[in-house]
Amino acid sequence: MLKQLRRLGLTGTLCALSLSAYADIAIVVHGGAGTILKKDMTSEKEAAYVAKLKEAVQAGYAKLEAGEPGEDAVVATIQILEASPLFNAGVGAVYTYDEEHELDASIMHGAHRQAGAVAGVKTIRSPIAAARAVMAHSPHVMLAGEGAESFAREQGLEMVDNNYFDTDHRLEALKKVKARMQEAGKQAGGQQGAEKMGTVGVVVMDAKDNIVAGTSTGGMTAKRYGRIGDSPVIGAGTFADNNSCGVSATGHGEYFIRYNVAADICARVRYHGVSVTRAADTVINDVLKNAGGTGGVIAIDRQGHIAMPFNTPGMYRASIDNNGKLTVGIYQDVLETSQINAQ
């Protein structure tokens, strides 16, 4: 009903009547999964994460509530997280072995399975904006490296020096990982640990019933040789299909690519007829876990149901469901819930 009114442009009327509880739109956000333990967290840090997750999810929700397209909500929400040093995306991205940042991002629209991605980019301020530009303004799905940067420049996107993404805590993390690599005699980084957490992702259902998913990351600390993870790989780190569901993933990317995680979850919803909760839980806590892959996903199905399973101690996450219920979590248990637009 509310969706029909919104389509008719009557949302303003609704607001005037104070009928502010929107029934159909939904949004879920993640800020990375991994060994996130309460004992390692200060209350200030925890409060900062909660505040940023809430700011992001509420900003995205406001766009959906205004009837804006899902892709606008996804990009705007991810850009809030890319601009925050708390997350491994944009500012605060992890360092490569060579002390640079190489960023990956992707977006997919569930209506016609349009998608865009950039991989290994170093100078695009907002990789998710570039992924969206690839989807909207190019005949391709994935652009990499300097070519992606030329395209972004041509599209008028903001370019920055690579050190725009620098943060002291990520440099510290690189040093630790390199020391461990040296001890173990390893050639490349990519170990799962506190150093690499913070990939961000968003899935929404918009006022027109479209499911859109996006993901943005700096990848894994000390990555080398042009390593690309799952985040820009459609089907692995990001997937959306209005006939089943939308997914954004975070975790050890190599496993997510090999197990085609995001697409597998939606295929189970579509062909097995199981709920998104069950499909996502099976893939994360059964298939992936048994293979040794760590991480989690956020997902929304075509009825607007939300799932957020992870097989790590924690995952930064927040959602507003189609009843206007806001949920925020970091560790196993939900941290807080409240009602948005309660009448």
Question: Which amino acid appears at position 75 of this protein?
Answer: V
Residues within the interface to ligand ASP (CB under 6 A): 32, 196-197, 199, 217, 219-220, 229-231, 237, 250-251, 253
Query: CB 144 → ligand ASP: shortest distance, Å?
Result: 14
What minimum distance in Å lies between the beta carbon of 187 and ligand ASP? 17
Q: Give residue for tokens 């780190």.
A: 237
CA gap 91, 217 in Å, rounded: 10
Does 294 participate in catalysis according to the annotation?
Answer: no
Which residue's CB is nearer to ligand ASP, number 82 or number 206? 82
**Smallest gap from residue 252 Cβ to ligand ASP (A):** 6
> Is the Cβ–Cβ distance between 195 and 94 less than 8 Å?
yes
Question: Token pair 């629209």 is at which residue?
Answer: 109
Closer of 235 and 237 to ligand ASP (Cβ)? 237
Is 126 or 217 the residue whose CB approaches ligand ASP more closely? 217
Minimum distance, C-beta of residue 217 to ligand ASP, in the bound complex (Å): 5
Q: 159: Cβ–Cβ under 8 A, 6 or more apart, which residues? A: 123, 124, 125, 149, 152, 153
Hey, which residues does 301 pair with through a beta bridge? 245
Phi then psi dihedrals of residue 143, to 5 deg: -120, 145
Cα(24)–Cα(260) distance, rounded to whole angstroms? 29
Rounded to a whole number of angstroms, the minimum distance from the CB of residue 232 to ligand ASP is 9
* Residue number with CB closer to ligand ASP (69 or 219): 219
Please pick, among 199, 217, 312, 327, the residue that the annotation labels catalytic.
199
Kindly tell me which of 199 and 311 has the beta carbon lying closer to ligand ASP: 199
Cβ proximity to ligand ASP, 220 vs 340, nearer residue: 220
Say if residues 199 and 231 touch (Cβ distance below 8 Å).
yes
Paired with 246 in beta bridges are: 240, 300
Nearest to 250 by CA among 28, 27, 26, 46: 28
Smallest distance, Å, CB 222 to ligand ASP?
12
Half-sphere exposure of residue 180, counting CA atoms within 13 Å on the CB side? 16
Q: Please, are residues 265 and 283 in contact by the beta-carbon 8 Å criterion?
A: yes
Q: Which residues belong to the active site?
A: 199
